[in-house]
Amino acid sequence: MIEGKLEPLHLAHLPTPIDHLPRISKKLGILEIQMKRDDLTGLAFGGNKTRKLEYLLGDASAKGARTLITRGAAQSNHCRQTAAAAARYGFDCVLVLTGNEPTHLSGNLLLDQLMGAKTFWTRDQDPEEVFQSQFTHLEETGAEPYLIPYGGSNEIGIFAFVQAMRELTTQAPDLDRIVLATSSGGTQAGICLGASIYDFRGKITGISVDLESAEIQAKVASLANRTSQWLDRQDHIFVESVQVVDDFLGGGYGVVGTLEKNAIDLFAREEGILLDPVYTARAAGGMVELIRNGMIDKDETVLFWHTGGTPSLFAYTDIFADE
């Protein structure tokens, strides 16, 4: 509980375990790679957003909301977990999804429907404008909506990853580096702020899946510092201290190339662990390249934070059909 602020609703199976990856570590010639298994949080195939949703739904419940509304890409893991959380606690759920409605359901979209979420497609309109318009409509029609921002990235959601760092430093206090996928910035912001609060001395390397590093660095620092103020703390995260690598953007968001395919193959065949095509495959592929080119030293103990998203694999079956 955040004293005087809110109480979370239970959704996640915590603490998530840490797996050691000896076969991949040996193959890459690095001291050790470990993995934080937030794909095992337990809510509709799991994922890191479940942590955020525990606190966001706690706030929604405290405010008497009846409808959750959020937005994301067509195969959004955040939207899928929001739909599951809504079903678990009896909220209605509205999802604003970017682009045009596909001709058939697959991956996360199928799960969204199974869990009763209502979807609106932005087509060629600005996603945030459509999102805000839908929220206003829900207010006007008495649906008592609670707005969950893109990626759950506000102070409430970010606090969940401050707590996740408390969990991690208890489990694995001697890590040299954390590597994770980063996009909306909320997860990395919480990890950076949590590192400051809980005295984590290792490096935190975000690998961008869609944006240039400067943009994400600014978002992460801003979100972390807003959350610090919200918690009445003095911790300050400087933009220049936020490490984001944007060397692996490939063909753009959601476009699976050789880097992502190779990472999916490596983790599946060497460790029996599945990555998602959009976030964890790009971040894991980037981590592998950083190890190979010496940007990550071979004597480091590295933790890869698996943020989940594996249901979206089933929306990319054509890419692996020839294997």
Angle, CA of 230, 186 and 32, to the nearest 5°: 120
Task: Report which residue type is found at 119.
Answer: T
Q: Which two structure tokens, joined as six digits, stand for 153? A: 């990235």
Q: Give the pLDDT confidence score for residue 2 in this predicted structure.
A: 52
pLDDT of residue 210: 96
Integer Cα distance of 301 and 323 in angstroms? 32
**Span 129-156, pLDDT tens digits:** 999 999 999 999 999 999 999 999 999 9
Question: What are the tens digits of pLDDT across the range 267-291?
Answer: 999 999 999 999 999 999 999 999 9
CA distance linking residue 236 with residue 106, whole number of Å: 42
The answer to whether 76 is a known catalytic residue is yes
Q: Give phi and psi for 67, each to the nearest 5.
A: -130, 130
| Region at 297 (left for phi over 0; alpha for psi -120 to 50; beta for the rest) | beta
User: What is the per-residue pLDDT for 1?
Assistant: 43
Amino acid in position 51: R
At 180, is the secondary structure helix, strand, or coil? strand
pLDDT at residue 27, rounded to an integer: 97
Q: What is the pLDDT of residue 100?
A: 95
Query: According to the model, what pLDDT value does residue 4 have?
Result: 52
Residue from 77, 44, 51 nearest 187 by CA: 51
Q: If we measure between CA atoms, which residue out of 281, 307, 267, 303 comes closest to residue 38?
A: 307
Handedness of CA 196, 202, 207, 213 (dihedral sign): positive
Owner of token pair 């599946």: 268
Annotated domain spans of the chain: 18-47+153-320, 49-152
Q: Which of 25, 76, 153, 213 is catalytic?
A: 76
Alpha-carbon distance values, 246 to 209, 210, 263 (Å): 8, 8, 17
DSSP 112-175: HHHTT-EEEE-TTS-HHHHHHHHHHHHHHTT--EEE--GGG-SHHHHHHHHHHHHHHHHH-TT-
Topology match between the domains 18-47+153-320 and 49-152: yes
- Which tens digits make up the pLDDT trace of 20-60? 999 999 999 999 999 999 999 999 999 999 999 999 999 99
Q: pLDDT grade, residue 319 (50/70/90)?
A: confident
Fold of 18-47+153-320: Rossmann fold (3.40.50)
Collapse the DSSP code of 248 into the 3-class scheme (helix H, G, I; strand E, B; otherwise coil) and give the result: coil
The hierarchical CATH code for the domain 49-152 is 3.40.50.1100
Detail the DSSP E strand segments found in the chain.
18-20, 32-37, 67-72, 92-97, 118-121, 145-147, 177-182, 203-208, 243-245, 301-306
